[in-house]
Amino acid sequence: QQQVKQSPQSLIVQKGGISIINCAYENTAFDYFPWYQQFPGKGPALLIAIRPDVSEKKEGRFTISFNKSAKQFSLHIMDSQPGDSATYFCAASTPRGYGGSQGNLIFGKGTKLSVKP
Amino acid sequence: GAGVSQSPSNKVTEKGKDVELRCDPISGHTALYWYRQSLGQGLEFLIYFQGNSAPDKSGLPSDRFSAERTGGSVSTLTIQRTQQEDSAVYLCASSLGLSVGTEAFFGQGTRLTVV
């Protein structure tokens, strides 16, 4: 079973601090790595995504760092705000046709982030 | 509609009964996913449809679970002889599926409670 391992399970950060969430994967065929944000009672929504041909992608206060050789990627939230309090999921997918896969999207178990004012 | 629509939003059923959960994907989206999210847990993959290809059913937890997608659009997830451990939020997502890396849009989910 393809797996994406996410840590920590929960994270408490002071307002203005940096939140860091890490993910590791096993399947080297993964070629798309999105992060999703979920607020209580809502479905997850895409936050930011990266392909393995770049080592970093930044969108506003959110940055993905990608280490292909270590098979790890992380989400950094700069200047964390109470409104960032949510559950964050990393995910990965394989190309269609690889090993019989049709491009499925596999998620980590999530990190519950609380940003204290 | 503008987004992925799931119905019902809440469902309470008695143990042993069958339930059907519906997902209306975004128009034109060829890929459709079903996930299960238990309280405080991650997103457990259940099944994935991509166009006319055979669905990836590798995540279905037992033969009590099945899903179909009619006409490449609406999908129904059926749970037969429900058990208390089936209680969870069932999430549906869709994407353009033209190539890897297209955004998956999620519905609000159906909260299933088996009593």
Give the pLDDT score at B100. 56
Give the pLDDT score at B35. 95
Nearest CA in chain A to B96: A103
Confidence of residue A28 (pLDDT cuts 50, 70, 90): confident
Q: 């399947």: which residue's tokens?
A: A27
Query: Taking an 8 Å Cβ-Cβ cutoff, which residues of chain A contact chain B?
Result: 1, 6, 31-32, 34, 36, 41-46, 49, 51, 89, 93-96, 101-110, 112
Mean pLDDT of A29-43: 92
Give the pLDDT score at A27. 87
Query: How many helices, marked H, and strands, marked E, lie in chain B?
Result: 0, 10
pLDDT in tens, B39-48: 767 899 999 9
Cα–Cα dist A19/A81, whole Å: 10
CB atoms within 10 A of CB A81: 14
Q: Is the peptide bond before A52 cis (omega within 30 degrees of 0)?
A: no
Q: Does the pLDDT of residue A98 top 60, yes or no?
A: no
DSSP letters, A72-87, are: EEEEEESS--GGG-EE
Supply the DSSP symbol for A41: T
Mean pLDDT of B22-44: 90
Give the pLDDT score at A101. 52
Contact assignment for A44 to B99 by CB distance below 8 Å: no
